[in-house]
């Protein structure tokens, strides 16, 4: 029977859930506190420059193709995208530079030439990465975390192959030997905001996604992903309510009855899917309900500081994705996770979408999205950290690129953990919900349904299966399956 479904939040997961509920024939109402859809996957303009505000790396487009195929459509018609080659330009402070080729064999051959690591070692590492994906996708990514004892037994026999007992760094060090390649593979931990020196080797699943499945660029920029799902949802009849903050999930006898918005309106609904961070869903929208504190209090993943810089020059040596590594990676993560601060020598990421989408910057200029990771917001003095980090970042980029970057800045804005938290209601401004530093993190994310309130479901980066665009999109699929299996 068709139901009235409310979605709280229009992040990429909320939009995907809205599409799925509409395809099932339900009447769907999506409520968004902001004036625009997308949450973290949004855009900003600074002077004459356009920037994707948050995510810049697009992987696993097939999950979005699956979403559009539900109504016989192609995601690539709504949001055309290209496979990247090369993927990223890497710079070390001693002048070493390499680009990661999309073709794994060419990549491995280049690494052998540059760092003397045998081609087979790299290809074998990537193959092991694929095996972890094949072993874990069904158990951890594509399905709810409702493991039977048979599932647990099956997983138990695979813990070795999943490399759960080593840290990512230990495994990379054992296999790679060359410190620069260890650092290269360790960096994939940051793709879900984790620490390679603590997270299990299982996270070595991530290079498979980039090196085998590929990295992509939506021709209209990352925000065109949001625009495509939003348009598709509208075509399917989803009712969007922007500038509408939900303040309460209304329940009666442990059953969802509706939602209350900040203007006092009461929306009667049969089911609710919350795309709001799960911590705040409990603490702000249903404070009288008992909350699963063990799960909610798992340590949060890294946050970020982004300097959006309009630059009055074109840098031919840079590509769409660029990394400038720090000299002491271990120290960088110790400062994030132990001192809860930001080291002076940092790994810097620059995304320049105007390399592919020329109208993102005026002629002869580039839009630099300069990002460094930070700890989640636990009350640090961000004003001090922003001004110190900006100085360190500009100095380092000027040194490595041999240009006075400060004098090239034409327009500027900044994003930091407090602003991420305020704009998207993400607890502590974390980019990816809880971190994967714990061996058992995959089992310690909140499930996609409520065990106590009938008709309440959860999607998005703060719940199972985790953060990032692909997993957030998958969380909506799991919600759909949970609802329609019942």
Rounded-to-integer distance, Cα 328 and Cα 186, Å:
12
Give the containing element (helix H, strand E) for 90. strand 88-91
What are the Cα distances from residue 12, in Å, to 40, 348, 474?
8, 26, 10
For residue 13, state whether it binds ligand FAD (rule: CB under 6 A): yes
Rule CB under 6 A: which of 30-59 touch ligand FAD? 31-34, 39-41, 54-57
For residue 434, state whether it binds ligand FAD (rule: CB under 6 A): no
Query: Is the Cα dihedral 23, 24, 28, 30 positive or negative?
Result: negative
For residue 14, state whether it binds ligand FAD (rule: CB under 6 A): yes
Sheet holding 58-59, edge to edge: 58-59, 215-218, 81-83
239-241/88-91 β-pairing: unpaired
According to CB under 6 A, which one of 187, 326, 468, 477 is a site residue for ligand FAD?
468
Residue identified by tokens 């090239």 is 408
Interface mask toward ligand FAD for 315-344; x: CB under 6 A:
------------------------------
For residue 228, state whether it binds ligand FAD (rule: CB under 6 A): no
Residue 117 or 307: the one with the smaller Cβ distance to ligand FAD is 307
In whole angstroms, how close is the CB of 96 to ligand FAD at the nearest point?
Answer: 24
According to CB under 6 A, which one of 141, 469, 474, 478 is a site residue for ligand FAD?
469
For residue 211, state whether it binds ligand FAD (rule: CB under 6 A): no
According to CB under 6 A, which one of 88, 194, 204, 275 is a site residue for ligand FAD?
275
Rule CB under 6 A: which of 238-267 touch ligand FAD? 245-246
In whole angstroms, how close is the CB of 213 to ligand FAD at the nearest point?
Answer: 13
Residue range at the interface with ligand FAD (CB under 6 A); choices 26-34, 168-176, 336-344, 397-405: 26-34
Whether 176 contacts 155, CB under 8 Å: no
Residue range at the interface with ligand FAD (CB under 6 A); choices 7-15, 145-153, 206-214, 290-298: 7-15
For residue 424, state whether it binds ligand FAD (rule: CB under 6 A): yes
For residue 200, state whether it binds ligand FAD (rule: CB under 6 A): no
According to CB under 6 A, which one of 228, 365, 420, 442 is a site residue for ligand FAD?
420
Residue 57 or 479: the one with the smaller Cβ distance to ligand FAD is 57
According to CB under 6 A, which one of 224, 298, 426, 450 is a site residue for ligand FAD?
426
Measured at the CA of 190, the angle between CA 436 and CA 399, to 5 degrees, comes to: 155
Whether 324 contacts 97, CB under 8 Å: no
Using DSSP, state whether 479 is helix, strand or coil. Answer: helix
In the chain, what's the furthest Cα-to-Cα distance?
Answer: 67
For residue 401, state whether it binds ligand FAD (rule: CB under 6 A): no
The structure tokens listed for 233 are 């949802």
Query: Is the Cα dihedral 474, 461, 265, 288 positive or negative?
Result: positive
Residue identified by tokens 């960096």 is 187
Whether 122 contacts 111, CB under 8 Å: yes
Give the containing element (helix H, strand E) for 132. helix 119-136
For residue 104, state whether it binds ligand FAD (rule: CB under 6 A): no
Pick from 306, 308, 87: nearest CA to 188: 87
Whether 115 contacts 180, CB under 8 Å: yes
Interface size with ligand FAD, residues (CB under 6 A): 37
Pick from 364, 348, 410: nearest CA to 187: 348
For residue 367, state whether it binds ligand FAD (rule: CB under 6 A): no
According to CB under 6 A, which one of 183, 204, 374, 425 is a site residue for ligand FAD?
425
According to CB under 6 A, which one of 5, 6, 9, 437 is a site residue for ligand FAD?
9
Rounded-to-integer distance, Cα 7 and Cα 345, Å:
42
For residue 177, state whether it binds ligand FAD (rule: CB under 6 A): no
Residues making contact with ligand FAD (CB under 6 A): 8-14, 31-34, 39-41, 54-57, 245-246, 275-276, 304, 306, 371, 420, 424-426, 431-432, 460-461, 467-469, 472
């Amino acid at each position: 029977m068709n139901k009235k479904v409310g979605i709280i939040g229009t992040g990429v997961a909320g939009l995907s859930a809205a599409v799925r509920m509409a395809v099932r024939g339900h009447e769907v109402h999506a409520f968004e506190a902001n004036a625009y859809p997308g949450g973290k996957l949004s855009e900003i303009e600074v002077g004459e420059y356009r920037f994707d505000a948050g995510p810049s790396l697009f992987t696993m487009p097939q999950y979005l193709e699956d979403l559009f195929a539900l109504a016989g459509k192609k995601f690539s018609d709504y949001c055309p995208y290209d496979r990247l080659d090369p993927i990223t330009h890497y710079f070390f402070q001693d002048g070493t530079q390499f680009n990661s080729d999309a073709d794994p064999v060419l990549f491995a051959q280049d690494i052998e030439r540059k760092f003397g690591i045998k081609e087979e070692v790299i290809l074998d590492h990537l193959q092991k990465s694929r095996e972890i994906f094949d072993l874990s996708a069904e158990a951890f990514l594509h399905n709810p975390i409702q493991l039977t004892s048979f599932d647990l037994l099956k997983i138990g026999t695979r813990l070795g192959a999943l490399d759960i007992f080593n840290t990512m760094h230990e495994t990379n060090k054992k296999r790679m030997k060359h410190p620069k390649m260890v650092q290269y593979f360790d960096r994939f931990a940051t793709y879900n905001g984790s620490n390679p020196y603590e997270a299990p080797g299982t996270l070595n699943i991530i290079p498979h996604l980039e090196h085998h499945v590929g990295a992509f660029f939506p021709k209209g920029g990352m925000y065109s992903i949001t625009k495509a799902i939003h348009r598709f949802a509208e075509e399917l009849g989803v009712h969007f309510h922007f500038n509408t903050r939900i303040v309460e999930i209304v329940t009666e006898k442990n059953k969802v009855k509706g939602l209350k918005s900040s203007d006092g309106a009461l929306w009667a609904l049969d089911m609710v899917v919350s795309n709001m961070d799960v911590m705040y869903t409990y603490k702000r929208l249903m404070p009288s309900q008992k909350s699963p504190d063990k799960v909610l209090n798992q340590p949060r993943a890294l946050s970020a500081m982004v300097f959006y810089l309009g630059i009055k020059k074109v840098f031919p040596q840079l590509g769409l994705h660029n990394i400038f590594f720090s000299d002491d990676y271990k120290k960088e993560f110790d400062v994030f996770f132990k001192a809860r601060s930001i080291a002076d020598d940092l790994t810097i990421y620059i995304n320049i979408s105007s390399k592919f989408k020329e109208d993102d910057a005026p002629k002869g200029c580039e839009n630099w999205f300069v990002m460094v990771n930070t700890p989640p917001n636990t009350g640090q003095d961000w004003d001090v950290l922003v001004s110190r980090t900006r100085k360190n970042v500009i100095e380092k980029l000027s040194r490595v690129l041999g240009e006075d970057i400060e004098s090239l800045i034409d327009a500027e804005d900044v994003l930091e953990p407090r602003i991420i938290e305020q704009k998207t209601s993400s607890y502590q401004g974390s980019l990816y919900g809880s971190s994967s530093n714990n061996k058992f993190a995959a089992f310690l994310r909140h499930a996609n349904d409520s065990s106590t309130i009938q008709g309440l479901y959860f999607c998005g980066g703060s719940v199972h299966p985790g953060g990032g665009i692909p997993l957030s999109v998958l969380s909506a699929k799991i919600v759909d399956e949970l609802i329609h299996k019942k």
